Chains A and B, each alone.
Chain A
């Protein structure tokens, strides 16, 4: 039996299969953005070829195919989603366009506001109103609802978001509106806020519901189509989709909560990172996934990836809980330029994959990070992508020379400057991430993966005083590999509205019991294996406006002082994050959260026996810049065996990635065949 992970990235679709013995096989195939399923099917061909079986045979022996997709992400970024209408409470139809009164960039007063996903004429106020305790103040007025529905029909919306004030406490009006909509406009998709995100705070709820309505039709169409093609090609097992929270769900669920798939791709990387932490016995890791146009940074602390509800993508607020991943628009394709104060800047502009860095020879003139790496000898122009796509070194030199000329620097000084600046950008991203989480980056190890990470990891780590870097052999396909270790997950949340100021133990138990029953019930309909429940609560101090998410796992649920214990957890977490706690202050319990989790058994332990000799032989040497030009040994990653070790300067190359080992840094190859680098 196989388990297959498929991660569709911007340039490549990565595939990983494991068989019953734990043997892992990789394949890569070009992505096909217009219809991602084409690249997926081609990639499956390639994967089967590497397994020496036919695609049909492989699929017939596959029990689970786990998929990370960027369909929703791209629809949002490229503004190619559905034509959405909003039904909302009369007198409140501008919530999304008000953006809580905020705009980015304080000193830019000459840029017009962004266009909201739903323009104002498609936002319909319906006469109805609930009070803050969920009681009906104004009953739903059917005539005003019918007028709105007539407007939707007239303007030709294909998807409708329904979001009324205080519906998180009482969905009665939303349910009635949805029912009437379904009758009047049966072909229109509907996203209901009390289903998508039944939580207090109207901006988060309406924005998330609108995003869901915007991407739902396109995600559903894509996944349904892919599932059909896979079945036709002989897939026996199930297709699961990775969601932004890192768990997976079947096609119907991923379509219903399509806004929850926007981080589907990077979420696989996080799962991979968590699995690495487990295999290595290193609980604190910074997964550092640097690619061509963007870099994803996250944290695994005490073996756990953290979730947050602060999501923002393409300017749209998505308040569904998702893995806490910071995406920086910088990577190998980032463009260097000299601004009018003659300061060197790298990014945020990127050469992308077309035209790409100057050395790609596709007409790109700008000097990118990749060009600097070529000039510095870090990348072997002739052997790039296993020699399939040699790079134009002269073009890199010419591009870097233009930067040098603008700053009166030599070629190599300019290239080293570009290399330095991009590393600072990366280090800043990691530092902000750790600061937000209240942890010290120095105790973490850097988990280097993605095509470009190995070239930069050492200097980024040094900048942060991180001492250790891990490069897994699966580095170039870590997201797809991680998907194989993802659990099934179904999340629910509910806002608490109590009678008194403080929640009671009875209310806690009742609230969670309801959520747990519903979540477990939903998960059981997809999954027969063992099931566990994770509980958490979002709480804040009385006067604050930010809630923090506090895990309630491991508490004695029957204890008489349950609420005290919950509040204790909150104080501790607050202190951890913000350096202080205020015991004695009123603590407000806002949202209860439950995740039903169905664990799948990972099957990926590819440990190898240690090689007899500690030393290893380079396949050659080349000139590279390590403080000065040096003749540096170059190793092939596939020849490095467990037990091998070496000391920098050195360059380690694989088909799709290059790892730079700085002078004095020590590399040992661990039992998994991965590089474990200790900085000098």
Chain B
């Protein structure tokens, strides 16, 4: 490889690659079929080379980004005869994937007969088969109960889609039309990227592009090392706890030992607790991605998130632990849990090394889905709650965002209109407002969660499922800041005792008129509360951010 490339050409190639992944993202957003993609934007795009190095990615879902190289390794290992016009697909967490609902497609980019790069699209499917609708099965004790497993397969061969395979896949999910629509959107975006990258080769010539890529990765590495080298050296420890696994185990510990020396960082998760029987285990790729995500949050926002940025980072973990499960274990929850706890443990450890950069805890995911019959139409409905977004963590930069999200989504997940939800589903949003007093106190206050009172306007009983965590452990305070209030969801039902909902329940019976009293968590506070300015406290009081006032209204 030529080490010398003129800096303007490098700048141009870098700019091009980043605009290519942006365009792929735009195409995905505009063409995908299901709400989880076109609204909640649960997808990511990247360009990797044949050595599985991430060259460029669009800022969509941080938890996907560090995972793409591992998926690429799996495809490269399996297929030695890649031809122009081929398309590859995988989802299996024991073959390079993170969890089953995330499908990943790969399109090879050739320059003449030389294969150089991959354009990659990963997107979360609203269903992937398995025992329960929507992929999240708290009851699963093995991966076969979670959905269809797809190792690296050839989805198109020399430009011809393999319809037989597509049919088999679509047959194994509950919503084949959406599945096919979303897959078509993924392929469209990957091919758009392929055409644009191919044009880059034809314009500059492959040797120049390759040399530019080396220079881009090296420059990003230097940029990252320059940042890391300003942090304090030492060995630092952090830990975070999952509430439970839904199968009887509580306070499952994720332990991070971080060794920082010069511009190198080693994250060792080996002391984390043993794996679980339920879906809160992490796959290997997802664990790697979670560590990369924590590191990405600590360095500068402007640094491109490519393989060069991750070169200073070394990851050590032990198979058989909660962060890296043995083959066959269920893992569907892992992109949120234990990802969120892995991030939290690392950032807590690093708060001793780079305190100004360590942000307080963002929230954890607590989802709820309701399945029932709409009395206005007599039709079945399934509703997934994206509302009541929890609070974000405070930082040295100021207070946290309210109603914003979790560590793994950080403000990338949109909730839809209540008016539309009320028009389309037999639901009444009696209250959907900030949950006062939920943000952790500190020099800078955590963002607020949301108080949602949701009334079922059904005529027959319906059923709810939950999946998530964080009802026991609130988002962590940082450097003297206090924890945010944890999630607290209750079911209020005429003639039944109010009941606190657990984070991993299946088949909750919901009667007509029942109210789900949802209180999502607030973000963690940063710095000691004694340092909060009088002016900030006055504004908090005026705006009712801190007063724990009327919990019930309306």
Q: State the A residues within 8 Å of B (CB).
A: 90-94, 97-113, 119-121, 125, 129, 131-133, 165-166, 168, 200-204, 339-345, 407-409, 413, 416-417, 420-421, 424, 428, 431-432, 435-436, 497, 501, 543-546, 577-580, 582, 585
Which residues from B are CB-within-8-Å of A543? 33-35, 178
Do A132 and B423 contact each other (CB < 8 Å), given the known contacts A101-B415, A344-B8, A424-B15?
yes
A101's partner among B296, B377, B414, B428 (CB-CB below 8 A) is B414
A342's partner among B177, B219, B357, B413 (CB-CB below 8 A) is B219
Q: When chains A and B are docked, how far (Å) is the Cα of A526 from the Cα of B462?
A: 56
Q: Are B297 and A94 in contact (CB under 8 A)?
A: no
CB distance from B196 to the nearest CB of A (A): 9
Q: Are A200 and B420 in contact (CB under 8 A)?
A: yes
Q: Are B297 and A107 in contact (CB under 8 A)?
A: yes
Most chain A beta-carbon neighbours within 10 Å: one of B222, B418, B450:
B418
Q: When chains A and B are docked, how far (Å) is the Cα of A92 from the Cα of B429?
A: 9
Q: Does B176 contact A (CB under 8 A)?
A: no
Most chain B beta-carbon neighbours within 10 Å: one of A93, A129, A545:
A545
CB distance from A544 to the nearest CB of B (A): 7
Q: Are A91 and B414 in contact (CB under 8 A)?
A: no
CB distance from B147 to the nearest CB of A (A): 20
Q: Which residue on A lies nearest to B425, using beta carbons?
A: A132
B403's partner among A90, A92, A98, A580 (CB-CB below 8 A) is A98
Q: Does B132 contact A (CB under 8 A)?
A: no
Do A435 and B7 contact each other (CB < 8 Å), given the known contacts A90-B553, A544-B38?
no
CB distance from B460 to the nearest CB of A (A): 19
A580's partner among B184, B401, B418, B429 (CB-CB below 8 A) is B184
Q: When chains A and B are docked, how far (Å) is the Cα of A341 from the Cα of B306?
A: 13
Which residues from B are CB-within-8-Å of A409? 6-8
Q: Which residue on A lies nearest to B359, using beta carbons?
A: A109
Q: Are A112 and B398 in contact (CB under 8 A)?
A: yes
Which residues from B are CB-within-8-Å of A112? 397-399, 401, 444
Which residues from B are CB-within-8-Å of A103? 401, 404, 410-411
Q: Does B188 contact A (CB under 8 A)?
A: yes
Q: Are B389 and A101 in contact (CB under 8 A)?
A: yes
Q: When chains A and B are docked, how far (Å) is the Cα of A515 from the Cα of B319?
A: 66
Q: Are B7 and A342 in contact (CB under 8 A)?
A: yes
CB distance from A361 to the nearest CB of B (A): 28
Which residues from B are CB-within-8-Å of A432? 22-23, 26
Q: When chains A and B are docked, how far (Å) is the Cα of A343 from the Cα of B308?
A: 14
Q: Does B507 contact A (CB under 8 A)?
A: no
Q: Are B38 and A546 in contact (CB under 8 A)?
A: yes
Q: When chains A and B are docked, how far (Å) is the Cα of A113 from the Cα of B302?
A: 18
B59's partner among A105, A420, A431 (CB-CB below 8 A) is A105
Q: Are B405 and A417 in contact (CB under 8 A)?
A: no
The segment from B81-89, B105-113, B511-519, B538-546 that touches chain A is B538-546
Q: Are B223 and A340 in contact (CB under 8 A)?
A: yes
Show 21 residue pairs from A and B whose CB-CB distance is below 8 angstroms, ordered by the A residue: A92-B429, A94-B402, A98-B389, A99-B403, A103-B410, A106-B411, A109-B395, A111-B397, A113-B447, A120-B542, A340-B222, A343-B14, A343-B219, A344-B7, A345-B11, A408-B7, A413-B8, A416-B8, A436-B26, A544-B35, A580-B184
Q: From residue 466 to 499 of chain B, which have CB atoms closer than 8 A to chain A?
A: none
Q: Which residue on B lies nearest to A431, using beta carbons?
A: B23
Q: State the B residues within 8 Å of A (CB).
A: 6-8, 10-12, 14-16, 19, 22-23, 26-27, 30-31, 33-35, 38-39, 59-62, 177-178, 181, 184, 188, 219-220, 222-223, 226, 296-297, 301-305, 357, 359, 362, 377, 386, 389, 392-393, 395-405, 410-420, 422-423, 428-434, 444, 447, 450, 453, 542-545, 553-554
Which residues from B are CB-within-8-Å of A119? 543
Which residues from A are CB-within-8-Å of B397? 110-112
Q: Are A421 and B27 in contact (CB under 8 A)?
A: no
Which residues from B are CB-within-8-Å of A101? 386, 389, 403-405, 411, 413-415
CB distance from B282 to the nearest CB of A (A): 21
Q: Interface on chain A toward B: helix, strand, loop, or mixed SS? A: loop
Q: When chains A and B are docked, how far (Å) is the Cα of A243 from the Cα of B60?
A: 34
Q: Are B415 and A202 in contact (CB under 8 A)?
A: no
Which residues from B are CB-within-8-Å of A91? 430-433, 453, 553-554
CB distance from B447 to the nearest CB of A (A): 7
> Beyond the given A98-B415, A132-B423, could you list 4 further A-B residue pairs with CB under 8 A, ordered by the A residue number?
A101-B413, A101-B414, A436-B30, A545-B35
Q: Are A420 and B12 in contact (CB under 8 A)?
A: yes
Q: Are A106 and B60 in contact (CB under 8 A)?
A: yes
CB distance from A169 to the nearest CB of B (A): 9
CB distance from B359 to the nearest CB of A (A): 5
Q: Are B423 and A200 in contact (CB under 8 A)?
A: yes
Q: Are A106 and B389 in contact (CB under 8 A)?
A: no
A106's partner among B59, B219, B223, B399 (CB-CB below 8 A) is B59
B414's partner among A100, A110, A345 (CB-CB below 8 A) is A100
CB distance from B473 to the nearest CB of A (A): 20
Q: Are B423 and A497 in contact (CB under 8 A)?
A: yes
Q: Are A102 and B414 in contact (CB under 8 A)?
A: yes
Q: Are A200 and B402 in contact (CB under 8 A)?
A: no
A340's partner among B15, B226, B398, B417 (CB-CB below 8 A) is B226
Q: When chains A and B are docked, how far (Å) is the Cα of A579 from the Cα of B428?
A: 36
Do A132 and B8 contact each other (CB < 8 Å), given the known contacts A94-B403, A105-B301?
no
Q: When chains A and B are docked, how far (Å) is the Cα of A407 from the Cα of B9?
A: 12
A579's partner among B23, B188, B544, B554 (CB-CB below 8 A) is B188
Q: When chains A and B are docked, how far (Å) is the Cα of A80 from the Cα of B389?
A: 31
Q: When chains A and B are docked, how far (Å) is the Cα of A416 from the Cα of B553?
A: 64
CB distance from A597 to the nearest CB of B (A): 29
Q: When chains A and B are docked, how far (Å) is the Cα of A99 from the Cα of B402?
A: 9
Do A120 and B35 contact each other (CB < 8 Å), given the known contacts A100-B415, A101-B386, A200-B417?
no
Q: Are A202 and B411 in contact (CB under 8 A)?
A: no
Q: When chains A and B are docked, how far (Å) is the Cα of A57 from the Cα of B432?
A: 61
Which residues from B are CB-within-8-Å of A545? 35, 38-39, 416, 420
Q: When chains A and B are docked, how far (Å) is the Cα of A36 from the Cα of B184?
A: 52
Which residues from A are CB-within-8-Å of B554? 90-91, 129
Q: Are B222 and A166 in contact (CB under 8 A)?
A: no
Q: When chains A and B are docked, how far (Å) is the Cα of A107 from the Cα of B409?
A: 10
Q: When chains A and B are docked, how far (Å) is the Cα of A108 from the Cα of B428?
A: 35
Interchain residue pairs A-B with the least CB separation, the first 5 = A112-B398, A103-B411, A91-B431, A341-B219, A120-B543
Q: Are A203 and B417 in contact (CB under 8 A)?
A: yes
Which residues from B are CB-within-8-Å of A200? 417, 419-420, 423
CB distance from B515 to the nearest CB of A (A): 13
Do A113 and B399 contact each other (CB < 8 Å), given the known contacts A92-B432, A201-B420?
yes
CB distance from A436 to the nearest CB of B (A): 7
CB distance from B412 to the nearest CB of A (A): 6
Do A420 and B8 contact each other (CB < 8 Å), given the known contacts A90-B553, A343-B14?
yes
Q: Which residue on A lies nearest to B175, using beta carbons?
A: A543
Q: Which residue on A lies nearest to B544, using beta carbons?
A: A120
B16's partner among A111, A413, A424 (CB-CB below 8 A) is A424
Q: When chains A and B are docked, how far (Å) is the Cα of A97 from the Cα of B400?
A: 13
